[in-house]
Structure 1
Amino acid sequence: MKWASGICVESDLEVALTEIKRDLARQLGDNPDLLLVFVTPHFQDQAQQLPGLVAGRLSPGLLLGCTATGVIGGGREIEERAAVVAIGALLPNVAMTPFRLTAGDLPDLDTGPSHWHDVLGVDPVAETHFLLLADPGGPAIFDPRPLLMGLDFAYPGSTTMGGLASVLQENHLFLDDGVHEGGCVGVALQGNLHIDTIVAQGCRPIGRTMTVTDCSGHFLTALDERPAVEVLVELYHQLDEAEQELLQRSLHLGVAATGLKSDLGRGDFLMRDVMQLDHEKGAISVGDLLRNGQTVQFHLRDPKTAGEDLDEMLDRYQRLHPAVDPSGALLFTCTGRGRRFFGIAGHDSGRFVERLGNIPQGGFFCGGEIAPVGDTTYLHGYTAAFALFRSVT
């Protein structure tokens, strides 16, 4: 297995692809089996021609890609200017099954796993993993969360990674020779390939863990049998002035991804936005559906915390996998991170290189990041999610 990445800031798509071809040929020595291409909105007028231009220059076995506000590759993160990135891989003894889905294609969540196998055309064998790119807009609204639940259900033990195309006006998804709007495109990878994940949500806890004792949909009304707003106001007064200011603009609710652990820490919570407080009803509006009995904890987010969180997750990966040597990596990071948030360009990819070395990596700035927490795949926000690829044998 071999991976390579190339990036070009040339505003002419054909010139950019020609330059990237030279980079990938030098690194791979052959045409890639899988090629991921991400382009900024500066190339929207050429979106329909992109698969043909890619095929004519790079001749991949399979093309997967999308439009994005910013792209990552070759050790660089490019935002707010024209750029193209391509990540190529030679994948011996790996079967690739591409798929294209819209909301109407998805089986009901109460159907059996065989319905999902039929829709995707993917048998449930060991070491099945998915790369998924989605456009929630387009001709019809597409919510990827039912698909993520379906993949977890139908393919236990699989890993799903990806992101949402992030151009504000109009997005395009690329799959082989097709260009699509709305829905999702993806590829199932099966065989001599394993995906490790590093997921950094960029938050730190405040206060203590509590139990949801009353809620309705997105509204949290009681924690440990006390009004939720009362609990939050009490916590606010326990914080210093800087934390109080941060709470007012960057408060999140961490929802435990598993109810089985007693020593919850970083990486064990799924972060969700705190949207609004209703003092009259004593309720807090949260950016996800809640249920009674969940363990939760309030969290804050700022650049320093996000950097420390990423460092800790990268260090944890090294501790858990001291002998692992990944061949390549994909980075799906949020548009809410990047230069505007951290004050420097290349923060997330740079921290990766500092700790794990010059593993070929590439990716894009997403409108939402798809990655697991525990054994469940979620749609995240404000997250840096790395997929690290290595051979099984």
Structure 2
Amino acid sequence: MEEKPKEPKMPMTSFASINEDLVQNIVKRLPASSFASAACVSKSWNQICNQILSKPKFASAFSLNPNEKVALEEVVNKVLSEPIRPHFAIANVIGSGVDLREKLDFLATKLGSQTPIIVSCASGIMGRDAVTGEHREVMLEEYWADGESISCFGIILTVGFLPGLKVDVIPLLQPRKVHRPALVDYFVMNIRDYAASVSGWASPAGIILFGDEGADQKPVMEKLDHAMSRDTVIVGDERAQFLYRSGVESRNDYGSSEYFPAAVALVFARDRDKPCGTGEIQFHAALSSGVSAIGPRYKAVSVRKIGSETGCTTLLTARREGEQEIQDGQRILDDINNELVNQIGRPDLYIGVTEQRKCFIGSEKSRVMTFLVFHGVMGGDQEYLFADGVGIRTGDYFQFYHSDPTTALSSCNEVSKNFRKLKLDWSSRNCLQAGVSDNVCSKELVGGFVFSCCGRGESFFERCNVDSSPFLDNFPGVPMAGVFCRGEIGRGFSVLNADEGPEERTLHCCLHVYSTAYLLVSYTPAPAEH
């Protein structure tokens, strides 16, 4: 019987013999979960994965799918569709009766139990749709018809990878016992201790803060403003519902304890042990103001408060600056309303109170700081002016402010102009470096956040996407996530607001009204070694 000719043996091919460039080309196209598995194949593959993820990365996705489960899966699948190692995650949702615990548990399963995560309810969200890629700003009020809520759900999820920084969640604890103050000093010291332990410097690079809707964040921000370096940028939502997970398990035990979180801070601190060759991440901030001053300054003459700690009103009389006559609330309001006679619509009124206060942490030496604090005007009678909240003292000066879309639009355009200057500065600096050296350290924007007053948006400006426009006009391809909130937190704006005078720099304002706070995160690669 004739033997069949033997087929030539083909050389065995293993993963190890695949060209590294080919491996890198394949691995960089993998979704995050497969990418993580690829990094565990071998040391050489791990090195390739580290090269692919050598720079910071943000991934953000938005969904308005009315099916909460589908919406959550859409945004998670989108942010994990490319290689990324989650160092933190923020999810902001809109809707009625949303189960935050369910969302938090789902994200912890997908992103890892050690990933710091904050989930909050917002008054509106802004970002790029996970399916269509369209940018949208959506307010919760758009889902109300004839005074009744229409079933809705929306979510914006942001995941960040920030090599060179350490990130964790630190809560502000408040005793559940009635009338017991929050542990603000302990909170500030915890933030400083964490930053010092990972960076050697007690002031972190940045903080994103979410405050409980029933807690007063004014003393919190005053202490933080006092304790932190001027380089520490703080932004956030003053009044929200939130849940969180920290990388430190003991911080997560707040459901059954004698304390509850009155605020939570996502803290970004520099890593003193970062690998050689890791570049520098920098936080930049800007503010679009939406109020205009009106009328003369007043000096508070008599002050008293009524109501509970969670719903206090301040009653006050005042005199015009430079005058002796004491004026009641109704007369003051009549004068202000006369000045507003040419205003379209009925703007919201505030008093901006200039407060000089001693600030200290624990037993540390105190210092006097001057704050601008806004209080909503609730009305007045023939005896008192009624202002929302507490903290005003006899002798404090104040001025009236009103919501103003013209001012807000102009301010938003100014922020956009400053972003453009920043972008051009980076480009010109990069070109200069490229002209004198092959060792180019090109600065680039990684991502950003927007915290805008829920009084703004399309109904305020009579056009859409105004609050997003500084990002969209200058950094159209950069991941950005935004929320509309009931109190915008913003501290550290001198980086971009170059036109500030000496008086504005000494007057501290961290809690804003009708404003939008912007946070940019940039990256400069480390110089290449020769």
Q: How does the TM-score come out when normalised to structure 1?
A: 0.78
The aligned residue for residue 276 of structure 2 is none
Asked if structure 2 preserves the Cα contact closer than 8 Å seen for 1:101 and 1:183, the reply is yes
Asked if structure 1 preserves the Cα contact closer than 8 Å seen for 2:355 and 2:396, the reply is no
3-state DSSP of counterpart to 2:417: helix
Shift of the alpha carbon at 1:288? Answer: 5.6
Superposed CA deviations along residues 110-168 of structure 1, whole A, max 9, x for unmatched, are xxxx884247742451543211112233xxxx2222222222233232222110454xx
The aligned residue for residue 124 of structure 2 is 70
Q: How does 1:305-344 map to 2 (within 5 A)?
A: 305-316=407-418, 318-319=420-421, 322-324=424-426, 325-344=444-463
Change (3 A) 1:318 1:222: farther
Shift of the alpha carbon at 1:89? Answer: 1.2
Name which of 159, 162, 177 aligns with 1:88: 159
- For the pair 1:383 / 2:480, whether they are aligned, the reply is no
Counterpart Cα distance in 2 of 1:204 and 1:38: 30
Corresponding letter in the other structure for 1:184: A
Change (3 A) 1:383 1:352: same
The aligned residue for residue 467 of structure 2 is 348
3-state DSSP of counterpart to 1:289: coil
Query: RMSD of the TM alignment (CA)?
Result: 3.6
Corresponding letter in the other structure for 1:252: Y
Name which of 48, 61, 64 aligns with 1:9: 64
Counterpart Cα distance in 1 of 2:458 and 2:262: 29
Counterpart Cα distance in 1 of 2:476 and 2:74: 24
Counterpart Cα distance in 1 of 2:123 and 2:96: 9
Shift of the alpha carbon at 1:387? Answer: 1.5
- For the pair 1:221 / 2:353, whether they are aligned, the reply is no
- For the pair 1:242 / 2:342, whether they are aligned, the reply is yes
Q: How does 1:1-393 map to 2 (within 5 A)?
A: 1-26=56-81, 29-42=83-96, 44-45=98-99, 47-59=100-112, 61-74=115-128, 75-80=135-140, 81-104=152-175, 106-107=182-183, 116-118=188-190, 121-124=193-196, 125=201, 126-137=203-214, 142-157=215-230, 158-166=232-240, 171-176=241-246, 183-191=262-270, 192-207=280-295, 210=297, 212=299, 214=301, 216=303, 218=314, 219-224=316-321, 225=323, 226-227=325-326, 233-234=334-335, 236-237=337-338, 239=339, 241-243=341-343, 249-255=347-353, 271-280=374-383, 283=385, 285=387, 289-291=391-393, 296-316=398-418, 318-319=420-421, 322-324=424-426, 325-372=444-491, 374=505, 376=508, 378-391=510-523
The aligned residue for residue 131 of structure 2 is none
Change (3 A) 1:22 1:301: same
Superposed CA deviations along residues 63-113 of structure 1, whole A, max 9, x for unmatched, are 12212232222232223331111111110010113212222384466xxxx
Superposed CA deviations along residues 13-46 of structure 1, whole A, max 9, x for unmatched, are 33223322332234x521321111111235624x
Shift of the alpha carbon at 1:190? Answer: 0.7
Counterpart Cα distance in 2 of 1:56 and 1:5: 18
Counterpart Cα distance in 1 of 2:388 and 2:153: 36
Count, aligned residues: 366
3-state DSSP of counterpart to 1:195: strand
Change (3 A) 1:311 1:120: same
Counterpart Cα distance in 2 of 1:285 and 1:343: 29
The aligned residue for residue 264 of structure 1 is none
3-state DSSP of counterpart to 1:184: strand
Counterpart Cα distance in 2 of 1:97 and 1:318: 31
Counterpart Cα distance in 2 of 1:108 and 1:6: 34
Shift of the alpha carbon at 1:296? Answer: 4.3
Shift of the alpha carbon at 1:331? Answer: 1.1
Corresponding letter in the other structure for 1:384: T
Shift of the alpha carbon at 1:355? Answer: 4.7
| Mean CA deviation greater in 379-388 or 319-328 | 319-328
Shift of the alpha carbon at 1:257? Answer: 8.4
Corresponding letter in the other structure for 1:305: T
Structure 1 vs Structure 2: percent identity of aligned residues?
A: 21
Structure 1: gaps of 5 or more residues: 260-267
Corresponding letter in the other structure for 1:206: I
3-state DSSP of counterpart to 1:55: helix
3-state DSSP of counterpart to 2:268: strand
Change (3 A) 1:293 1:359: farther
3-state DSSP of counterpart to 2:157: strand
Superposed CA deviations along residues 197-221 of structure 1, whole A, max 9, x for unmatched, are 222230123345x363635364251
3-state DSSP of counterpart to 1:290: coil
3-state DSSP of counterpart to 1:346: coil
Asked if structure 2 preserves the Cα contact closer than 8 Å seen for 1:5 and 1:361, the reply is yes
Superposed CA deviations along residues 303-349 of structure 1, whole A, max 9, x for unmatched, are 33322232234334544775254321111112222234334443311
Asked if structure 1 preserves the Cα contact closer than 8 Å seen for 2:300 and 2:397, the reply is no
User: Relative contact order (C-alpha < 8 Å, sep 6+): which is higher?
Assistant: 1
Change (3 A) 1:250 1:67: closer
Corresponding letter in the other structure for 2:237: G
Counterpart Cα distance in 2 of 1:172 and 1:285: 28
Corresponding letter in the other structure for 2:349: L
Asked if structure 2 preserves the Cα contact closer than 8 Å seen for 1:212 and 1:294, the reply is yes
Shift of the alpha carbon at 1:388? Answer: 1.5
Counterpart Cα distance in 2 of 1:362 and 1:327: 12
Corresponding letter in the other structure for 1:216: V
Counterpart Cα distance in 1 of 2:108 and 2:396: 49
Change (3 A) 1:102 1:108: closer
3-state DSSP of counterpart to 1:54: helix
Counterpart Cα distance in 1 of 2:340 and 2:222: 40
Counterpart Cα distance in 2 of 1:15 and 1:212: 55
Shift of the alpha carbon at 1:240? Answer: 7.0
